[in-house]
Amino acid sequence: MILREFLYVDTDKVRALLAQLDGGIAEESRETERKEKRTTIGPRSAAQHLQGTGSESYTNKSLGDALFPTLEESLESELLLHDISEEASEADAWESGTLKTKYPPGSLVRITAPGSLFDTRYAAAAFAAFGHVNVGLKGIGASPSSEPQRTGKGKQSQQRPRPAKRGEGSSDQLEDAIPDFPKVGGTDGNTLRSFVQISKGVFTPGLHMNMTPAKGALISARLQEGRQYLDTEAEILFARYGTERHDWTLVGSIGSYGTEETELPDMNFYNPDGNINRGLFAEAMNAQMRNLGRIGFIDLPQHPGFSLIPFAVYRGIPRSTDLVQVQP
């Protein structure tokens, strides 16, 4: 038996696939049984004996945690789910394009590899906390800043927090929660705000699972909020799992591979009559975005990696390796 600790399950997708495979999902069962025995003695007007027994059982069974394992087993039995953990760990499979050829977009795959969580919102909150701690330390004359501490009236001129702009808390204003503070080890408020601004472009604010099965290859999955097991507060998730890489298992369908285009896109999207060709314009804009994704500036898969549409993310619960001796 495999025990799974789920981080994420998209129950809607799981139910939809199970319904296609099995023609529906049985979540309740009802069983009715009745026995009746009739005995008549003498004329019909005489006494009659009637004995009846009956039983009815009703079970409303919510599959819950069994939903995804049921799907996983069904997909494997139909040879629709491919475990690519071993192949993806080989750098040659990425460089040669073997994985892309063997598993095109839309393929259902399972991969177990080192992965870590990233959320721009959590990075901004952590940097803001760091800044506020330094502002507070400065206020009590215990700043870790390399600048010498002033005495007397100098303490009154301490660094004040940077005022937040309107809309603070939204993804557009995440960096505004970081106050100004004296430099600590070459880092100040402006540096941290710049890091958050870069993060918003490279990773759209939200929870991401980044897997690195081989050097230079990244499998990225955006974990949609509101799905089963996923806590909406990033601070809780990072407090539990940290920022280090752990072995995770990711099951889903391949979304798209990173572009291999290296030339800038053609921006000629006009018809011969001078009007804009909407199809050419959309393709030109998409080509521009693919180019930005290629260099890592926006949230798109980067060659040779791919994006994965996640059905579930979990890690196996290890069993004890201690041997238990049974006495005869």
Query: What DSSP line would sit under 91-106, residue for residue?
Result: HHHHHTTHHHHHS-TT
The pLDDT assigned to 293 comes to 94
Lowest mean pLDDT among 64-78, 166-180, 190-204, 292-306: 166-180
Provide the 3-class DSSP secondary structure of residue 152: helix
Distance separating the N- and C-terminal Cα atoms of the chain? 26
Average pLDDT, the chain: 82
Categorize the per-residue pLDDT at 152 as very low, low, confident or very high, splitting at 50, 70 and 90.
Answer: very low
Q: Which of 47-56, 112-121, 260-269 has the lowest mean pLDDT?
A: 47-56
pLDDT at 160: 47
**Residues 89/113, Cβ–Cβ less than 8 Å:** yes
* Rounded Cα–Cα distance for residues 187 and 102 (Å): 46
- For residue 39, what pLDDT is reported? 61
The per-residue pLDDT for 59 is 45
Q: What's the average model confidence in pLDDT over 259-270? A: 86
**Does pLDDT of 4 surpass 90?**
no
The CA angle 243-246-252, to the nearest 5 degrees, is: 105
DSSP conformation letters of 11-61: HHHHHHHHHHHHSS---EEEEEEEEEEEEE-SSTTS-EEEEEEEEEEEEE-
Virtual CA dihedral for 82, 87, 88, 94, nearest 10 degrees?
-120
For residue 259, the model assigns a pLDDT of: 94
C-alpha to C-alpha distances, 195 to 45, 163, 180, nearest whole angstrom:
96, 19, 14
This prediction has a pTM of 0.76
